[in-house]
Amino acid sequence: MLSYDIKDISLADAGRKRIEWADRDMPVLALIRKRFEEEKPLEGVRIAACLHVTTETANLMRTLVAGGAEVVLCASNPLSTQDDTAAALVKHYGVSVHAICGEDTETYYKHIDSAIDIKPQVTMDDGADLVSRIHSSRREFLEDIIGGMEETTTGVIRMAAMAADGELNYPVINVNDANTKHFFDNRYGTGQSTLDGVVRATNRLLAGRTLVVSGYGWCGRGLALRASGMGMKVIICEVDPLRALEAHMEGYRVMPAAEAAKECDVWITVTGDINVIDKPAFENMKSGAIICNSGHFNAEINIPYLEENCVSKEELKPLVVEYTMADGRKIILLAEGRLVNLSCAEGHPAEVMDMSFANQALCTEYIVKHAAELGPGCFDVPKEIDDGIAKLKLEALGVKIDTLTPEQEKYLTSWQMGTV
Ligand SMILES: NC(=O)c1ccc[n+]([C@@H]2O[C@H](COP(=O)([O-])OP(=O)(O)OC[C@H]3O[C@@H](n4cnc5c(N)ncnc54)[C@H](O)[C@@H]3O)[C@@H](O)[C@H]2O)c1
C-alpha cells in the first residue's frame, strides 16, 4: 500500500523527466532492471531504503520494484531530497516516499520511522541511521529483517562498531567497500559533485585559489585531483601518516589544520570524523574563507563554535551563511555543514551511481537468497558481483580490453619460470 509524506505531488512530471534523463547514463542498472522484470527475484520482499532521494536513487527504486519488491524510501540527509524526484516516485513508479528537502531533525527521524513501519525484511542504508534506529528504539521490527546493505564509508564504520559490540542482529553487506563503488563513486563522484556544489553555491572562480582538503581518503583524493585540474592550489590535512605521505608524493602541500587555515580560500572536509575544523583552525582562519563539508554527517565542522564566537551572522543567499567574528574576520559556511554536493548541487553524476546502485540491486538479490547462510555481521560484496559490474560497465562504455592467453594464465599461476 502506497504511503507518502512529500513536498508537492504536482512536481511529479518534472521529476519523471529528470529520472529518465539520469537513466540514460545508468546502463548497468537498466540491464539488471530488465532481468528483474522477467525473473522477479524480489517478489513480495518488503524493503526500507534510507538513501539520498535523487534521480539516480529513483532508478534504483524502479529496479527493486521491477524485481517484485514493495519499497518505502526515506532520506539519509535532511537537505539532499529532490522534491520533484520524490513526487515522481510516488505518482509514476509506485514507491512510497517519506522525505522533504529541508526537513528538521524531528521530521527526518519521523520519516525514518515511517519507513520502518513497512516491517522491512531488507534494509538499505546510507550512513546507518535506519539500522541504528531499528536497533535502538524500534527493536520489535528486528524479527522480520533478514539482511541489509550499507552504501557509504561512515555507515560501514558504524556497522562494524555495532558488530564489534555484538549489537548487529542481521547480516549487512558493505556496498561501499566494493571496488566498483568506492574507486569510482567516492573518488570521481565526490571529486566532481563537491566542486559542483561549491560553484553553484558561490559562483566563485576556482582557478588560482587555495583549497584545503581535510581527509585524503577515496573522496579526498578525487577532490584534490579535480580541484588541481581546475587550477586550485591544494593543501591536504591528514591524520594517517601513510595517506599524508601519499598526498605529499602526489605533489600537494601537507600541513596541520591550524596552519592550513591561514591560507585557505575554500576548505572542504571529507573525513567522516568530528570537529575536523575546530577552534585552532577558526582562530587562524583567513577572512573570507568559504568552508563546507562533503563527508557524511554535519559533524565535521564545529558549527556550535562558530555560533558561539561570532558577533553576527547573515544569510547571503540560501545555504550560504556569513559569520562575522569579534575581530571582524568573515567566515562563510555552506549548506549548514551538511553534504555540500547533495545540498547545493545534485550529488554524484548518474554514470558513477550506475555502478554503486548496480551493487545495491544485486546485493539485495543476493541477501534475499543467502541471508540465512550469512548470519549477523558485516560482509563484503561477493567478488563475482563486483567483477561482473566492472565488466558490464566497460561493455556499456564500449571499452574493450585484452584477455589473458592460456600461456599467460599458466605463467601467472606458476613459480617454475623466472628469468628467460
Ligand atoms: N559527498 C558524498 O557524496 C560522499 C560519497 C562517498 C562517501 N562520503 C563520505 O565521505 C567521508 C569520507 O569517505 P572516504 O571514502 O573518503 O573515507 P576514507 O576512510 O577513505 O578517508 C577518510 C580519511 O580521512 C582521514 N581523517 C580522519 N580524521 C581526520 C582528521 N581529523 N583530519 C584529517 N583527516 C582525517 C582518515 O585518516 C582517512 O584517510 C565519509 O563520511 C563518507 O561516508 C561522501
Mean pLDDT confidence for 341-349: 97
SS3 assignment, position 348 = coil
Mean pLDDT computed over every residue of the chain: 97
Closest atom, ligand 1, to C-alpha of 342: 3
311/355 same-domain check: no
pLDDT of residue 217: 98
Is the model's pLDDT at 47 over the cut of 90? yes
Mean pLDDT confidence for 81-107: 98
* 91 lies in some domain: yes
pLDDT per residue as tens digits for the range 258-305? 999 999 999 999 999 999 999 999 999 999 999 999 999 999 999 999
Give the confidence band of 332 by pLDDT, cuts at 50, 70, 90. Answer: very high
Nearest CA to ligand 1 atom 15: 218
SS3 assignment, position 254 = strand
Best residue among 52, 150, 153 to mutate for probing ligand 1, ranked by most atoms within 8 Å of CB: 153
Phi-psi bin for 288: left (phi > 0), alpha (psi -120 to 50), beta? Answer: left
138/201 same-domain check: no
170/238 same-domain check: no
* 174 lies in some domain: yes
pLDDT per residue as tens digits for the range 23-40? 999 999 999 999 999 999
Q: How far is the CA of 353 from the centre of ligand 1 (A)?
A: 18
289/205 same-domain check: yes
Best residue among 52, 174, 246, 296 to mutate for probing ligand 1, ranked by most atoms within 8 Å of CB: 296
Give the confidence band of 365 by pLDDT, cuts at 50, 70, 90. Answer: very high
* 410 lies in some domain: no
Mean pLDDT confidence for 121-139: 97
16/107 same-domain check: yes
pLDDT of residue 1: 82
* 420 lies in some domain: no
Q: If you count them, how many residues does the chain have?
A: 420
φ, ψ (nearest 5 deg) of residue 101 = -60, 130
CB 60 within 8 A of CB 35: no
68/167 same-domain check: yes
25/147 same-domain check: yes
Global pTM reads 0.95
* 417 lies in some domain: no
Closest atom, ligand 1, to C-alpha of 182: 15
Question: Who lines ligand 1 at CB under 6 A?
Answer: 152-154, 182, 186, 190, 214-220, 237-240, 243, 270-273, 276, 294-296, 339, 341, 348
> Which three cell numbers, joined as nine digits, stand for 322?
556569513
Q: Which of 320, 343, 366 is the last residue of a domain?
A: 343
* 409 lies in some domain: no
199/230 same-domain check: yes
Q: Which of 343, 359, 385 is the last residue of a domain?
A: 343
81/200 same-domain check: no
Is the model's pLDDT at 132 over the cut of 90? yes
303/360 same-domain check: no
CB 363 within 8 A of CB 175: yes
DSSP 111-178: HHHHHHTT--SEEEESSSHHHHHHHHT-GGGGGG--EEEE-SHHHHHHHHHHHHTT---SEEEEGGGS
Residues 6+ apart with CB under 8 A from 177: 156, 380, 381
Is the model's pLDDT at 116 over the cut of 90? yes
DSSP character for 184? Answer: I
217/247 same-domain check: yes
Is the model's pLDDT at 79 over the cut of 90? yes
Is the model's pLDDT at 96 over the cut of 90? yes
Q: Which domain holds residue 369?
A: 4-181+348-397
Q: How far is the CA of 276 from the centre of ligand 1 (A)?
A: 11
Give the confidence band of 346 by pLDDT, cuts at 50, 70, 90. Answer: very high
171/25 same-domain check: yes
pLDDT per residue as tens digits for the range 212-254? 999 999 999 999 999 999 999 999 999 999 999 999 999 999 9
pLDDT of residue 310: 98
* 109 lies in some domain: yes
Give the confidence band of 420 by pLDDT, cuts at 50, 70, 90. Answer: confident
Domain of residue 318, CATH code: 3.40.50.720
* 405 lies in some domain: no
Domain of residue 82, CATH code: 3.40.50.1480
* Packing angle of the helix pair 350-374, 55-66 (nearest 10 deg): 40
pLDDT per residue as tens digits for the range 392-408? 999 999 999 999 999 99
Domains contained in the chain, number: 2
pLDDT of residue 313: 98
